[in-house]
Amino acid sequence: MKFALYYTETCPFCVRVLMALPNIKVEVEKRNLRSDPKWRQELSQATGRTTVPCLKITDDSGKEQWMFESADIIRYLQKA
Protein backbone atom coordinates (compact mmCIF):
# COMPACT_ATOMS: atom_id res chain seq x y z
CA MET A 1 0.00 0.00 0.00
CA LYS A 2 1.10 3.54 -0.77
CA PHE A 3 -0.28 6.63 0.91
CA ALA A 4 -0.11 10.27 -0.22
CA LEU A 5 -1.57 13.15 1.76
CA TYR A 6 -2.75 16.19 -0.21
CA TYR A 7 -2.70 19.24 2.03
CA THR A 8 -2.00 22.94 2.52
CA GLU A 9 -0.01 24.28 5.45
CA THR A 10 -2.64 26.85 6.40
CA CYS A 11 -5.59 24.46 6.67
CA PRO A 12 -6.27 23.60 10.35
CA PHE A 13 -7.67 20.19 9.40
CA CYS A 14 -4.52 19.44 7.40
CA VAL A 15 -2.38 20.52 10.35
CA ARG A 16 -4.34 18.08 12.51
CA VAL A 17 -3.42 15.20 10.17
CA LEU A 18 0.18 16.38 9.80
CA MET A 19 0.60 16.47 13.58
CA ALA A 20 -0.67 12.88 13.83
CA LEU A 21 1.75 11.53 11.19
CA PRO A 22 4.77 11.10 13.50
CA ASN A 23 2.72 8.59 15.51
CA ILE A 24 1.62 6.67 12.40
CA LYS A 25 3.52 3.46 11.59
CA VAL A 26 3.18 3.67 7.80
CA GLU A 27 5.00 6.01 5.43
CA VAL A 28 2.87 8.82 4.00
CA GLU A 29 4.09 11.00 1.15
CA LYS A 30 3.13 14.64 1.67
CA ARG A 31 1.88 16.61 -1.34
CA ASN A 32 1.45 20.33 -0.67
CA LEU A 33 -1.03 21.82 -3.15
CA ARG A 34 0.49 25.29 -2.80
CA SER A 35 4.08 24.29 -3.47
CA ASP A 36 3.32 22.22 -6.59
CA PRO A 37 0.30 22.95 -8.82
CA LYS A 38 0.38 19.44 -10.31
CA TRP A 39 -0.91 18.03 -6.99
CA ARG A 40 -3.98 20.30 -7.09
CA GLN A 41 -4.64 19.29 -10.69
CA GLU A 42 -4.26 15.58 -9.90
CA LEU A 43 -6.61 15.84 -6.91
CA SER A 44 -9.19 17.77 -8.94
CA GLN A 45 -9.09 15.36 -11.88
CA ALA A 46 -9.37 12.27 -9.68
CA THR A 47 -12.07 13.48 -7.26
CA GLY A 48 -13.71 16.52 -8.81
CA ARG A 49 -12.72 18.45 -5.69
CA THR A 50 -9.73 20.37 -4.36
CA THR A 51 -10.76 19.99 -0.73
CA VAL A 52 -7.96 19.12 1.68
CA PRO A 53 -6.86 17.13 3.54
CA CYS A 54 -7.27 14.19 1.21
CA LEU A 55 -5.51 10.85 1.44
CA LYS A 56 -4.75 8.90 -1.73
CA ILE A 57 -4.56 5.18 -1.04
CA THR A 58 -2.99 3.03 -3.75
CA ASP A 59 -3.09 -0.72 -3.25
CA ASP A 60 -0.51 -3.17 -4.59
CA SER A 61 -2.47 -3.70 -7.82
CA GLY A 62 -2.51 0.07 -8.51
CA LYS A 63 -6.16 0.64 -7.58
CA GLU A 64 -6.67 4.12 -6.11
CA GLN A 65 -9.05 5.20 -3.37
CA TRP A 66 -9.44 8.77 -2.09
CA MET A 67 -10.40 9.68 1.47
CA PHE A 68 -11.43 13.09 2.81
CA GLU A 69 -12.06 14.26 6.41
CA SER A 70 -9.15 14.63 8.82
CA ALA A 71 -10.53 12.38 11.58
CA ASP A 72 -11.28 9.60 9.08
CA ILE A 73 -7.78 9.87 7.60
CA ILE A 74 -6.12 9.69 11.02
CA ARG A 75 -8.23 6.69 12.11
CA TYR A 76 -7.53 4.87 8.84
CA LEU A 77 -3.77 5.43 9.01
CA GLN A 78 -3.62 4.33 12.65
CA LYS A 79 -5.13 1.00 11.64
CA ALA A 80 -3.03 0.58 8.47
Mean pLDDT in residue range 31-35? 96
Contacts of 28 (CB under 8 A, 6+ apart): 3, 4, 5, 21, 55, 77
Span 51-62, pLDDT tens digits:
999 999 999 999
- pLDDT value of position 20: 97
CATH of domain 2-79: 3.40.30.10
Question: Considering just the CA atoms, what is the radius of gyration of the chain in Å?
Answer: 12
- pLDDT value of position 60: 95
Span 3-20, pLDDT tens digits:
999 999 999 999 999 999
The residue type at 44: S
